[in-house]
Amino acid sequence: MTIELMFYLAGAVAVLASLKVVTGKNTIHALLYLVVSLLAVAVCFYLMGAPFAAGLEVIVYAGAILVLFVFSVMLFNLNHDEVLFARQSQGLGFWAGPVVLAMCLLALLVNIIQSAEIQDKLTVNLVDAKQVGILLYGPYLLAVEIASFLLLAGLIAGYHYARPEGPGSHGGRS
């Protein structure tokens, strides 16, 4: 199996999972499909010779941002109006779709790891983390600072908006 074919397969998985996210009824199932879509895109990154970006995609996107989604949906009952209109999961049938797509990605990864020929081909166009780091803390230092300011603004705004309303809160608009 060549690199191109694996790339197309991972891209097809990403497109299918994204379609299921957009057309989904149940919030949690759509989030599961979103995780699968992000993992498929991470496999695409790896095949394009960017293993650092693939790792970041898995750790930050699928690991942190999606966990934030799932936590806030479950803790704050954000799937309230979906519960009223969508049919709920009966048994394990709803897990089949994401599991099949994730198994496709797992088969791709096992195929990559096993085949020495593909590994050789992947090292040809590799842009590794060292080059990224040198560039990130050299010419792009200002961009890193601006990104840190953006994250600080996100932190403060998230704290301000999610604070409970009412007489207990200090100075918040009721």
Partner 1 sequence: MTAIPLNHVLILACILFSIGFIGVIIRKNTLFILMSLEIMLNAVGVAFIGAGSVWQQADGQIMFILILSLAAAEVAIGLALLIRMQRRYQSLDIDKLSEMRG
Footprint of partner 1 on this chain (CB under 8 A)? 2-4, 7-8, 11, 14-15, 18-19, 21-22, 24, 27, 30-31, 34, 37-38, 41, 44-45, 47-50, 52-53, 56-57, 60-61, 64-65, 68-69, 72-73, 76-82, 121, 124-125, 127, 131-132, 134-136, 140, 143, 147, 150-151, 153-155, 157-162, 165
* HSE-up (13 A, CA, CB side) for residue 112: 23
Q: Which is nearer to partner 1, 73 or 109 (CB)?
A: 73
Q: Which is nearer to partner 1, 55 or 94 (CB)?
A: 55
Q: Residue with structure tokens 């779709």? A: 97
Q: Which is nearer to partner 1, 106 or 151 (CB)?
A: 151
Query: Which residues, 6+ apart, have CB-to-CB distance to 67 below 8 Å?
Result: none
Main-chain dihedrals φ then ψ at residue 30, nearest 5 degrees: -60, -40
- Listed as own residue / partner, the contacts of 151-158 with beta carbons closer than 8 Å and 24 or more positions apart are none
CB of 112 to partner 1, least distance (A): 12
Q: How far is CA 144 from CA 61, 112, 137, in A?
A: 18, 33, 8
CB of 111 to partner 1, least distance (A): 15
CB of 113 to partner 1, least distance (A): 17
Q: Residue with structure tokens 């080059």? A: 131
Give me the amino acid identity at 166: G
Q: Which is nearer to partner 1, 99 or 143 (CB)?
A: 143
